[in-house]
Structure formats: C-alpha cells, structure tokens
Amino acid sequence: MAPTRKAAKRSKQARKKSPKKSAKKSSSKRSVKAESPKVAARRAASTATDSKGTVKARVAAAALSPLAVCESDKDLQAMLKTLRNQDEPVKVRLAALQAMQAASFSVVAFESSRGDYIATLRAIADDPDPELRQRVLGILAREKDGYAQKKLIEGLKDPKKALVPPEKALQLLSYDVHADAYSAARDIVKKPPDEMARREALRLLAADATAAPMFEKLLRDKKELREVRQIAASALQALKPEKMQQHAREILLDKSDYDDIKATSLTALTQFGDQEAIGKDKALLKSVDRLSAGKASAKYRQSASRFLGKYSQ
C-alpha cells in the first residue's frame, strides 16, 4: 500500500503545480500532448530530482528535463544537488549529469549557471564512482579546465593519485595538449603499463614533430600490432607526408608485408598521394594491380581498384 500512497501524494503535488492539467484524467496521453514543452520539462525535472521516485522513472525523467534546468534556477540547483549527492543511485546521478550537459548546449540560457555547473563538476571529479569520475573529467577536459588537466597529469606521474587509468588520462589530455602531456606520453611509450596506454600515448605524440622517426620505425616493424602501425601511418602522414608516401610505396612493393597495412598504405596514397608522381610509377601500379587481382579480401581488392581508377590513366 505504501508505494500507492506515495504515488498518490506525488500525483496530488503535481496537480497542485499544474491545476489546469489535473482535469484531464481520462487520457494521460492527451494531457501530455496539451502540456507546453517548458511545463513538461519542469515536471520531468521535479521527478528526476525526487529521491522518493524509482531509479527507472528518475532516469527517464532526467532525459526530458534539460529545458527546465535552463529555465529555472530552482530546478538547476536541485539537479546539481542530485549530481553531488553520493547517497543517490549512480544511474540517477549519471542521468542528471547527462541532462546538465544537454542543457549546456543552450548556451545563452545556461550561461548564468555555468559557474555552478563547473564548480560541481570539479567537486565530484574525485567521486568514488569510476564511471561518473571519468565522465566528469571528460567534460572538464573538453572545456580545457586547468584543474582537471592538473589532476590528470598528477595521476600520470603518480599512479596513486590517478583518478582514471593512464590511457584515459592521455586521451583526455589530448583535448588541449601541453608540453607536460608530451613528456608523460613519452614516459609511457618507454615503459607502458599496458598496450592500451601505449597506443593512447602514441596517438597523443602524433602531434609532436620530434616523434616522426619513432613513427617511421613503428610503421615498418612487421612485428608490431596492426593498430600501432596504423597509428604510426596516420601520424607520419600528418608529420612528414613525403616520408609516409615513400614508406607507403615501399610497403606496397614488399610482397611479405600484411594486406591490412598495404590497405592503409593504399588509402594514404589514394587520399593524399601526388597524382603526377604516382601516375608515372609503373612498379607501384603493377604491384597494386597484383593486389587488386590477388587473394586479398574483397575490401582490399576494391581499395586497390579505387587506387588504380584514380592513378592508372
């Protein structure tokens, strides 16, 4: 009986807030349709922040509440309180965070709330829940927030202080790369805690001009993981495009290299190649012709055909 009484009480409260709607008992669908988006959003925000509601209902309501968060300081503060409160279910807090983030897209309306929002995010950046922590640090990192960047660098230097795994910290630091981040990434490439961290460190170093020789070496190392070689190819194409074109050519002429790396090389040449030079390169064209007619997968053969279509005139 208790839940029924609670539900009835909530329904009564809702009717008090919106007396005009209470008359339409016969069709809840019709009553929702008649409600303006703002009224519906405020009702949703009220449900989302009501700790007596079910998790499912609160999560669903949070998704409909961004407009209320923009329009009403009371709803905003209630949502921030829910987000900060460690006693609230994590699912509800994550939904509140998502609603706040969606509301932040309404820049003008949200502007006066931005300070409180960012302050709340900083306050929960070290929350016990890892998923919430990661999402919060992600938002702050994309805002190039100095506090978050400092925490991420600290965590890379001293794993005991780490709020997220090193690979995530590197990924988030890539939104605003500083010298400190390069230094931490170099250290991780030298002594990686795991393969994922190494890959993210390499991705971050792809913007570091001094890293080009390392990427050349990785690209040509047949014992390397395919994904690492792919990162190296992309990095090299950006840092030293002429070197990448040269290596791509050599990889395509090398009968012992792998088809997927040949496909990456082919894609680099098709997209960014020197039309005149490649058009005259008979050895390369012949090699790609072999790939297009060989035993490679249909995708790679198709890729080879595209290359030939562009360069083999």
Partner 1 sequence: MDVELQINNGATAATRFVSWAPSPCRIRVTNPSGATSPTVNVTIAGVSSASGGVVVFRAGATGAFANSLTLPVPTNGTTVPFFVAGRFGRPSVNNGDVKIEARVGATLVGSVPLMVRIRKNANALTAGERDRFVSAFAQLNNQGLGRFADFRNMHTNVSSPQAHGVPGFLPWHRAYLLDLERELQAIDPSVALPYWRFDQAAPRIFNRDFLGVSNSLGTVQFNATNPLQFWKTDGVQGINRRPFFPTTSAPPGVRTEPQTLALGTQYAAFQTMEGNPHGSAHTSFGGSISSIGTAAKDPLFFLLNCNVDRLWAKWQR
Residues that bind partner 1 (CB under 8 A): 33, 36-38, 41, 60, 63-64, 66-67, 70, 98, 101-111, 134-135, 138-139, 142-144, 167-168, 171, 174-175, 177, 196, 199-200, 203-204, 206-207, 226-227, 230-231, 233-235, 237-238, 260-261, 263-264, 266-268, 270-272, 299-300, 302-303, 306
Taking the least distance from each CB to partner 1, the nearer of 114 and 290 is 114
Taking the least distance from each CB to partner 1, the nearer of 235 and 284 is 235
Alpha carbon dihedral 244, 246, 249, 255, in 10-degree steps, equals: -100
Taking the least distance from each CB to partner 1, the nearer of 6 and 299 is 299
Taking the least distance from each CB to partner 1, the nearer of 22 and 134 is 134
The minimum distance between CB 281 and partner 1, in angstroms, equals 20
The minimum distance between CB 303 and partner 1, in angstroms, equals 4
CA–CA gap between residue 207 and residue 233 (Å, rounded): 13
Give pairs for 106-113: CB < 8 Å, separation 24+.
106/66, 106/67, 106/70, 109/70, 109/71, 110/69, 110/70, 113/69, 113/70, 113/73, 113/76
Cα-only R_g, the chain: 28
For residue 137, give the nearest of 159, 112, 165 by alpha carbon.
Answer: 165
Taking the least distance from each CB to partner 1, the nearer of 6 and 33 is 33
Taking the least distance from each CB to partner 1, the nearer of 2 and 209 is 209
The minimum distance between CB 262 and partner 1, in angstroms, equals 8
Is 21 in contact with 34 (CB distance < 8 Å)? yes
The minimum distance between CB 22 and partner 1, in angstroms, equals 21
Over 220-258, what HEC string results?
A: HCCCCCHHHHHHHHHHHHHHCHHHHHHHHHHHHHCCCCC
Alpha carbon dihedral 111, 112, 116, 121, in 10-degree steps, equals: -10
Taking the least distance from each CB to partner 1, the nearer of 41 and 284 is 41
The minimum distance between CB 150 and partner 1, in angstroms, equals 19
The minimum distance between CB 193 and partner 1, in angstroms, equals 14
The minimum distance between CB 305 and partner 1, in angstroms, equals 11
CA–CA gap between residue 303 and residue 306 (Å, rounded): 5
Backbone angles phi, psi at 54, to 5 degrees: -75, 155
CA–CA gap between residue 98 and residue 58 (Å, rounded): 13
The minimum distance between CB 60 and partner 1, in angstroms, equals 8
Which residue's structure tokens are 């988030």? Answer: 172
CA–CA gap between residue 2 and residue 292 (Å, rounded): 71
The minimum distance between CB 5 and partner 1, in angstroms, equals 30
Q: Any residues with CB less than 8 A from the CB of 151 and at least 6 apart, and which? A: 125, 126, 137, 161, 163
Taking the least distance from each CB to partner 1, the nearer of 14 and 60 is 60
Taking the least distance from each CB to partner 1, the nearer of 37 and 193 is 37
